[in-house]
Each structure stands twice: as C-alpha cells, then as structure tokens.
Structure 1
Amino acid sequence: MGLDPINTATAGLRATQASIALVSQNVANAGTAGYVRRTTSPVAQGLGNAGVATGAITRSFDAAALKQLRLETAGSGYTGTKADILAQLDRLYGTPGSATALDGVLNTYTQSLQTLAINPTSSAARSSVVDAAQALAGKIGSIADDVQNLRSGIESTLKGQVEDANALLDSIAKLNVQVQTAGDGTTRAALEDQRDQQINKLAGYMDIRVMDQRDGSATVMTSNGLTLVDRGVAAGLSFDGRATLSATSAYNPADKRGVGTITATLPGGSRIALSDPGTLLSGTLAANLELRDTILPQAQRQLDDLAAGLAGATTQTSVTATVAGGTATLDLSALKQPGDKITLQVSGPGGATRTVILIASASDDKPITNSALSNDATAFVQTFKIIPGAPPDATAINTALGALKVAATTAGYPAGTIPDLAAADATGKVVISGTTWGATGGGATVTVPQSPTDTTAYPQLAVFVDSDGNRLFTDSFDNGSQRTGFAQRLALNPSIKADTAALTTLGGGAAGADATRANFIYDALTGTARTFSSSSGIGGLSAPYDTTVVKFAQDIIAAQGSAAAQAQTIDSGQGVALSAAQSRFAEGAAVSIDEEMSNLIALQQAYTANARVLTAARDMLDTLLRM
C-alpha cells in the first residue's frame, strides 16, 4: 500500500480540525459586537488534486449591505442631530397660546394697549403697557440669547466630534498597516473587524465611501471624493473653535471667520476647509455645521426682524412714490436719519425686474455687498450720504446710483442686468428715471421721531429703542447692520418708563390725555402691514414678506413648530431605514448558532471518516509487520 492515502487523510484531518476551530470561534463570538462570521473552504492540492489544504479564512458579509449601512448611519446622524436641536429651538418660543409663550406675551402687550385706549387717563393702564412692553422686549431678548447659546453649544460639540473623527482616521490608517502585515488569516480577520467598526463610527460623523485595495487596506473618502485615509496615511482634522458665538458670528469662507472651521490637512501639506458649504453632506458634522451657520442664524434673523418690526412700526412712516412712464417722483423732505431708505422696483430690457434699495448714511456712500442684510436678499443695495437732520438732495442719490452700477459691474453682474438709473431735483422732490430701465413702483421709509426723547409732536413714538447707546432703531448701516443682533438689544425706551404720560399725551397744541397714541400703536402692530426681510425665511426666501407685526410673530412660532415636527418625522423615517440596513447586514455577517452546529456535525463526520482511514492504514501496517 502506498503512502498517498495516509497523507491525504492526514491533510484532511488538519483541514477539518482547522474548520472545527473556526466554527468554535464563530460560536464563541456570536454575541460579540462587530464580529463578522468567518468561513474557510478546503483547497485541493497535490498530484491529481489528491490532497487537501486549509483554505484562507474569509469574513462572510454582504458588501452592498455594508455600504448601505454606512450610508444610513451618516443619514441617521444628520437627521437625529437636526431633530434634536430644532426641538430645543421650538421649545424656546413656549407653548403657543400660553401666557408665557412669545405670542402670549405679545398678546398681553397689545391687550394692554386696547385697555389704555379705553382708559387713557388711567395711570394703572399706562403702567400696564410699560410693564407688558418691557416683558415683551425681555422675552424676545431671552429667546435670541438662547439661540446663540445653542450655536455656542454646537461649536463646542463640533470641537469634540472633530477630535473623535481625527482619532478614528488615525486608527483606520494604523489598522490598514496591521492588516497588510498580518501573519495569519485569523489575525487578519480580527483586524478587519476592528477597522470596519472604526469606519462605521466615522460614518456617523460624515458621509464617506470606502474602496478596498488588493493589499488588504481600505481607502476612505468623503462622498465628493476627498481622500481621508490612503493605506497607512490619514488626513489630520482640526477645529479652531470659538468660546462663544453672537449674532454677528458668521461663517464666510472668503473673509475672516467669526466661527470655528474644520480643516483637513492632507499628507502633502495642503489644507481644505471641510466646513465650507457642500463639502460634507451628511453625518453629525454636516448637521451641526448647517445648524450653526444656516438654520440658527435664520432663527436669529427672524427675531431681529420681529424686534425691528416692533420698534419701527411705531416710529416709521411710508412715503409712496408717484410713478409714471418709468419715472418715480418722491417727496423726501422727511428723510433725515441714517437708516431711512428708498426702495424702488424697476424693470429693464427683456422684462427683467430688480429691486434697488438706497439707505441713508452719515458716512460716505458704499455698496452693501451682503444684500441679505436688507429686506430683499436679491436687491441691489447701496448707501447714500446725508447730513443727519437734513433731507437729501438729488446729487447724493445720483452719486449713490452711479456707485451702485460700478459696484454691481465689479461684482460680475452682466451689464444688461444692472439698472441704469439717475436722480434729479424737481420742485422740492427727487425724480429717479433711467434710459433702458424704468421704475414700476417704490417709496421711502422714514423714522419720524428724531431721538428717543422726541415724544410730543406726532403719533409716532419710540416705545422701544436700541439699548446700545439708548438710540433710535432706524435700521442704519453706518456701523454695520443695526438690525443684526437687535433682538438682544431691544429695550423699553427709558423716556417712556420715566414718563408714562407720553403714551397718551400729544404735544403741539393737544391738551390732556387721549387715545390717539394708544390706538395708533395698537393699529401699527395689529392692522398695518409691514415689509419683513426675505432672509427670515417666513413666506419664502425669494421675496420680502408683507404682514403685520403680530402676524409675523405668529408665523415665526408656526414655522419653528412645523420645522421641528418635520425634522422629527424625517428622523423617524431615517431610523427605520437604519434599522433595516442593520438587519440586512446582520443577515449575512452575524453568526447563526443553528447553522454553525449543522456545520460542526458535518465536520465531525468528515473528521471521523479521515480518522478511520488512518486507523485502517495503521491496522494494515501492523499486520504486515507481524508477517
């Protein structure tokens, strides 16, 4: 008898023993998180494939299911983060209709005005108006403070998340090296399990895609192609966070940033800002960046607009332009303060339409490059110089119109899209017209009182002021946008608090208290439509929104409630998708005890058969030796 059967049986025993050990390992790790089932297939060898060898150990899983799992993990991190913060934001406004909610505090204020209109001689009614106004200013300021606290909290969270993501990238790169140099299949499989767990954790922070290389390493990239890990080399992530954020803290890639930036330093030394819009599309990092830089600043803008509406509704008046034949004629005799503005709707070649906003300034005229700070984010915005206390002449406006055209050209607007307008004096008024462009509508907004203490001559009254210097709110751009952060600076006019009689007593010949001002203020808040900025997002982002101050406050509350509810619904749906992806991956990767026991029985039978061959061979050799 030759030795081939003995060698074959011996090899079979070794291969079967290795498979049994692998089954035992699978069973022992059935409940281990991140463990992927191992398999091995014996490989035929020797002359005529007469022998057998232990095959390579492989991890059994569905690659497509793993890819989907990482995609849904990033999605769940994104939707969960947004749903959580938006729910917190919604709670800041209070339960709609309750006395302590924003709309309840505003209703208390308007009701106190009604009461005062009925009893203008009542000092108690005047005091109620003052108390309600002060409470309203405090409520708006408190909500705005909390919005910035949320932003500051996100800034702190981003710092920790970037540090965690950076550690994961470094760990993945090190595991790549260990996988490449692993001496046996069992060790290699264990290292690949660890690496997949690290990559899955990374997917919670950002949208990634993974490419497996022939040498066993994994290349990790963002979904838009930025390489984060290539074999044993990882990009370094850093975050230069700020301790606290304010309403003026904004992310602008082109300018000095007022908020922290996520920077990826690539192996070659180049640096890429991952916090630039559109770089990260999913995961908790993308959600936090969107919340910090877009969603919460818009909530701040809504509160600033509401504060501006409360202050301006009772101090401003409108001047309507007379428009004929594309020419707008305006009486600007009352326009005397920085922040007073001219708004023109114009049309040009091919039916093109634009809005031009000219804002009075005590400084030299300048373009407002961020038109979103004005009421219309799509408008051409320019300041024009005035002498405070004196109305402008056509020369100043004409200079501003020329400068606006130059600024728009410099900004890259095609010549045919830039209004060509000019101003001229006409019998105490200003006439604005163009050659290829003409006015289709417009007017001016002016602040009537000249100071917070100007409380006697007309119905307009500064109930609220800017606490920064106790100044009128005129929506000035002289030292940046006065509206930005105004919600935190909204305050009751100290002159009204010191002398509540101003709420019911007019000067200029008026005698005694009457309901004129109370009725005027009430109607200005509840019955007179004002223009609120498109940047607030209320009513859409494409155009300004006209409504009353009270209705605007209600719209803010409704919008935040709707956004929170929608975010929760989306997150719930994403949770279902993530659960389905986890189940699908587990179906192929998890250890089935029943299946492993079935495999063990088959392996035991194979082991017994190989052992019997060796036993038979031993008996035959013993017989031959005794002959």
Structure 2
Amino acid sequence: MSIAKALTNAVSGLTATARGTETVAANLANVMTPGYGRREVALSAQTLGGHGGGVRIDGINRIVNASVIAETRSAMSAGRNAATRLDFLQRMGDIVGLPGESGSLGGALADFRNSLQSAATRPDDELRLTAVVDAAQRLTSRLNAASAAVQNARGAADRAIGSDVDRLNADLDQVADLNRRIAIIDSDGGDATSLLDQRQAAIDRIAAIVPVQEIVRDHGRVALFTAEGAVLLDGSRPARLEFTPVGQLTPDMVVETPPVMRLVQNGTELGESQMRLFAGGSLAASFQIRDELGVQLQRELDVLAFDLHERVADPAVDPSIAATGPGLFTDGADRAVSASLIGLAARIGVNELVRPDRGGDLWRLRTGLGAAAAGPVAESRLLSAFSDAIADSRPPVGGSDFQGRGTLTTRFAEIEARVATRRVAAESDSAMRNSRAEALSARLMEDGVDSDAEMQRLLQYEQAYAANARVIQAIQDMLDQIMRL
C-alpha cells in the first residue's frame, strides 16, 4: 500500500469517527426529547481501483420502531378520549352528589320533606312555614344549578371541539409541509432526520385528537388516515376540517338543530354515521359530551323536576289548584306541561304565592295555593299531603326511562346512582387506558436512546479516532525521514 493510500484511508476513518461522535452527542442531548429518533451512522467499505480505500459514510439512519409508535399513538388517543369523558362525569357527579350524601340533590329533597313534616306538627308556626319555603327554594336552586352545570359543560365541550379542529388543521398543514421538504432533501441525498423528528411530533399531536394511521409513501412522504379510514392527508394538500362553536348552549339546543353542528370535512357537514370515522381521541369525546352524555343527564334532571312538580300540583293533593293553574312549584310562573319538558330543571321555581319576599302569603301552605282566604291556623292536612305525595309510590313520568313504580326519593336516588355508576365506569376505563399508554410509552423510551449504549459507542469512536490518528502520525514520521534523506 502506498503512503498516499494509507493517508486517504486514515483520513476517511477520522471523518467517519467524527461524524459518529456527532451522532452520539445528538442522541445523548435528545434522550428526553419527544419524537426524537435515535441516529446511527451508516458506513461501508470504500473501494478505489479494486483495492480498499478506507470507509465511506452512506448516510445517517434514524432508528425507530414503527409498530410501537403506532400502538403508542392508538393508546394515546384512547387515553385522551377516556380522560375527557371522565372529567365531565366527575364534575357532574360532584354537582348531583351521591345517594344519602349531604349536599346532594336527594339530600335537598330530604330536607324539603323534613321541613314539611316539621311544619305539619305546628302549622301555626310561621318560622316552620318559612323553613318549608326556604327548603323548597334550595331544592329548586339545586336543580337549576345542576342544569346550568350540564349546559356549561356542553358549551365547554363545544368550544373544545373548535380548538381541537384548529390544532388538527395546523398540524396537518405542518405534516404536509414537512412531507414536501423531506421529499426534496431525500431526492438530493441529504439528511432529513431532524425534519422526520418534527413530523413524528406533529403526528403524535394529531393522534391525541383523533386516532391516526400513518402510511409510508415514496420519497419519505407519509399519508395519514383516521383509524376508521377517513382521509386526513394523502398527497400535497390535507383534508380541510371546519367547525363553528356555538358558545353557550341551552337545553333545547341539540345536534342537527342550527346553529349546533357536526364536523365539516372539505366543505360537507358529516352525518351521524360519518362521524364514526373520527371515533376515539379528544375530538370524539367532546362531541359525545355535547350531544349524548350532556343531553342524557339534562333529560334525567328534567324528568325529576317534572315529577316533583306534578306530585304537589295534583288536585288530589291540593284541591284549591285549578286544572291548569300552577302548584307549589312552577315552570317560570306557569304550570309545567310534558310538552315543554326539555329544560324544566333550569326553569323550575317556587310559586310566588307562598313567597313573602315576592308578596306571597305563608298561610297558603296550610289552606291551599289557590285558596281565596286563609283557613284555620291549625290546619295541617295540606302540609301532610305534600309530604305524602313525595313518599307516594307512583308509575314513572311519561317519556322517562324509569322502570316500575317508585317514590320521588327513589327517583332522585336512582339518578344519583346512575351518575355515580357512569363515573366509576369512566374511572376504571381511564385507568386501564392510561396504564396501557404508560406501558407503551415506557417501551418506546426503551427503544429510543440508551445512554449506556451511546457511551459505549462513544468509547469505540474514541479508540478508532486514536488509531487513525496514530496512522497519520506514523505517515508524518515516514515523510519526515524521507525529507531528511
């Protein structure tokens, strides 16, 4: 081997070890960076004139486990979906309360009935009559607050959908742009690994909003589809998603009733069946809260309010009430009717006829809401009748999903139990999905940068660098001797 070839081989070795050291440093610096793919230098023997000519750097390989990344994204989507629903159900559980718990809806009903029983023993005591009115107002206020909490949560979900759609569009635009840049660099034989990291991070963000499948195309590009097959990006331009949040929702505002809308894809609003293409992730969970979970709970609260209203407005309980006249509880200022059931929990109140602060008279609790004049102060029949109506076992209100006969206390407890059961189920589901996501994230980290392995590789590069440097030093000594001849 000539001195020139030896020098060429040693210089190529120094270049390769320098590039390898650079990749090790980058790996160690990004050991905790999300979306970072470990780098390795691709080397091959270089041949010149049929003889060994040192080492050639073929490029920088980005080492990732595509199957683990796909599983992690799927788990991330499911975890975000479960966490979003759980947050809603926890808040609803707090406002509705648990059966028998102080401060729950059932507790407010129990306080109202206790006040009725107490007043029935001393109907002449205005303090006890005042306590009945106060307890009735607390009960209606709790129903009003629960309804408001449901609608606030639906409105928050509606706004969250808008935010998710904006982020989804921005990340899809970024992936499309990175596709173009990666393809150009790939065609030129350059190193696009940093752009691949950026693209992986952007797709990870998309996966939190909607489950995504990544399909590799030519020249380093990728296509994106939802897990159910909707096209997000396949080509140079991504799908355009649109959504206009309503803001504050009311109980009567439901999907397919303008301005409440579903997702719009490429200018077309999706139907109910098409929305399944975007199932999973935070986007679908927000739609479920707005259009299903919130609507369901609102209806259950409305049924409770209507049952409460009907029991004390029954002419058999208070004969002084006209057939269409309001009873102790009202819908605004009127009698509630089943045709206007939606949103009743938000509107129900105490009849002003028994509220002294509104010019009403407490004696009507003894004599009757529609009585023309006060009766005997010792009359307790009506107070007892109100209490008995609450405890009376009756068939379910028309249009409700209750089964069999039950007291009003039983109905309140059943709704509280339903909300608690949904929350417990959501907690279990969220814990399971988060556990899977954490396990996959840990596995993804294990497949990523191993600092011990990188340090071992760095020592190997150091040894190779020193060996090549000694070769060059030997060549230098030989040339010095030749020059002295």
Query: In structure 2, what is the equivalent of residue 519 of structure 1?
Result: 384
Contact persistence 1:275–1:289 (CA under 8 A): no
Matching of residue 549 in structure 1 with residue 408 in structure 2: yes
Q: Separation in 2 of the partners of 1:49 and 1:282?
A: 59
Q: Where does 1:195-210 land on structure 2 (aligned, <5 Å)?
A: 195-210=199-214
Q: CA deviation at 1:492?
A: 1.8
- CA change 1:624–1:452 in 2 (3 A) is same
Q: Deviations over 1:253-282 (max 9, x none)?
A: xxx4342433222xxx66646996423221
Contact 1:86 1:563 in 2 (8 A): yes
In the TM superposition, what is the alpha-carbon distance from 1:249 to its structure 2 partner? 0.8
- d(CA) in 1 for partners of 2:330 and 2:281? 42
Task: Select which of 148, 153, 164 maps to 2:151.
Answer: 148
Aligned to 2:242, what secondary structure does the other structure show?
Answer: strand
Shift of 1:9: 4.3
The yes-or-no answer on 1:296 pairing with 2:294 is: yes
One-letter code aligned to 1:296 = G
Which residue identity is paired with 1:142?
A
**Aligned-partner SS, 1:257:** coil
* 1:247-396 paired onto structure 2 within 5 Å: 247-252=251-256, 256-265=257-266, 272=270, 277-316=275-314
The alignment status of 1:598 with 2:463, answered yes or no, reads no
- Structure with bigger strand share is 1
Q: Secondary structure at the match of 2:264?
A: strand
> What letter is aligned with 1:102?
L
1:458-497 map, 5 Å? 462-467=327-332, 470-476=333-339, 482-497=340-355
1:82 aligned partner:
85
Aligned partner of 2:75 among 72, 75, 80: 72
Q: Which amino acid aligns with 2:246?
A: R
| Secondary structure of 1:59's aligned partner | strand
Q: Residue deviations 1:430-468, cap 9 Å, x none? A: xxxxxxxxxxxxxxxxxx841326xxxxxxxx221211x
> Over residues 346-382 of structure 1, what are the superposed CA-to-partner deviations in whole Å (9 max), with x where a residue is unaligned?
xxxxxxxxxxxxxxxxxxxxxxxxxxxxxxxxxxxxx
Q: Distance in 1 between matches of 2:278 and 2:13?
A: 53
Q: Which amino acid aligns with 2:237?
A: V
CA contact (8 A) 1:263 1:275 kept: no
Provide TM-score, normalisation by structure 1: 0.68
User: In the TM superposition, what is the alpha-carbon distance from 1:313 to its structure 2 partner?
Assistant: 1.9
Is the Cα–Cα contact under 8 Å of residues 241 and 261 in structure 1 kept in the other structure? no
Whole-Å Cα distance in 2 between the matches of residues 25 and 156 of structure 1?
40
Match of 1:215 in 2: 219
- Whether the 8 Å CA contact 1:171–1:198 is kept in 2: the answer is yes
User: Residue 58 of structure 1 contacts residue 185 of structure 1 at CA under 8 Å; is this kept in 2?
Assistant: no
Higher RCO, 1 or 2 (CA under 8 Å, sep at least 6)? 2
Q: Secondary structure at the match of 1:234?
A: coil
Letter of the 1:309 partner, please give it. D
Preserved CA contact (<8 Å) 1:79 1:567: yes
Kept in 2: contact 1:532–1:545 (CA 8 A): no
Which stretch shifts more, 198-207 or 597-606? 597-606
The alpha carbon displacement at 1:206 in A equals 1.3
- 8 Å Cα contact 2:175/2:202 also seen in 1: yes
The equivalent residue for 1:504 is: 366
SS at match of 1:524: helix
TM superposition shift of 1:57: 1.1
Cα distance between partner residues in 1 of 2:468 and 2:334 = 97
Higher helix residue share: 2
Aligned partners of 1:95 and 1:101 also within 8 Å: yes
- Please provide the CA RMSD for this pair: 3.1
2:44 aligns to what? 43
Pair 1:131 & 2:134 matched:
yes
* 1:623–1:131 CA distance, 2 compared to 1 (3 A): closer
Q: 1:589 deviation in Å?
A: 1.6
The Cα shift of 1:167 comes to: 0.9
**Cα offset for 1:17?**
3.0
Alpha carbons 2:306, 2:341 under 8 Å: kept = yes
> Could you tell me how far 1:180 is from its partner in structure 2?
1.0
How far did 1:102 drift? 1.8
Give the Cα separation in 2 of the matches to 1:31 and 1:274.
41
Shift of 1:7: 4.5
Q: Which amino acid aligns with 1:19?
A: G
Mean alpha-carbon deviation: is it higher for 195-204 or for 614-623? 614-623
Q: Distance in 2 between matches of 1:570 and 1:9?
A: 60
Conserved? CA contact 2:263–2:275, under 8 Å: no
How far apart are 1:286 and its partner, in Å? 1.2
Task: Please list, as runs of the form range in 1=range in 2, the aligned pairs for 1:22-61 lying within 5 A after superposition.
Answer: 22-46=23-47, 50-51=52-53, 52-61=55-64
C-alpha change, 1:109 and 1:494, in structure 2 (3 Å) is: same
Closer/same/farther in 2, CA of residues 100 and 6 from structure 1, 3 Å limit: closer
Residues 272 and 7 of structure 1: CA distance in aligned 2, closer, same or farther (over 3 Å): farther
Q: Would the aligned equivalents of 1:177 and 1:231 in 2 still touch at CA under 8 Å?
A: no
CA distance in 1, matches of 2:31, 2:335: 71
8 A Cα contact 1:105 1:135, kept in partner: yes
Flag the 1:24–1:145 CA change in 2: closer, same or farther, 3 A. Answer: closer
Q: What stretches of structure 1 of length at least 5 have no aligned partner? A: 319-447, 454-461, 477-481
Tell me the TM-score normalized by structure 2. 0.86
Q: Which amino acid aligns with 2:351?
A: N
Supply the distance in 1 between the matched residues of 2:87 and 2:444 (Cα, whole angstroms): 27
In the alignment, residue 312 of structure 2 is paired with which amino acid? T
Note the alpha carbon deviations across 1:117-151, whole angstroms, 9 max, x for none. 33345444433323322221222112211211121
What are the superposed Cα offsets for residues 534-559 of structure 1, whole Å, 9 maximum, x if unpaired? 766xx6xxxx4542211111122222
Output the CA distance in 1 between the equivalents of 2:11 and 2:400: 79
Task: Determine helix, strand or coil for the equivalent of 2:245.
Answer: coil
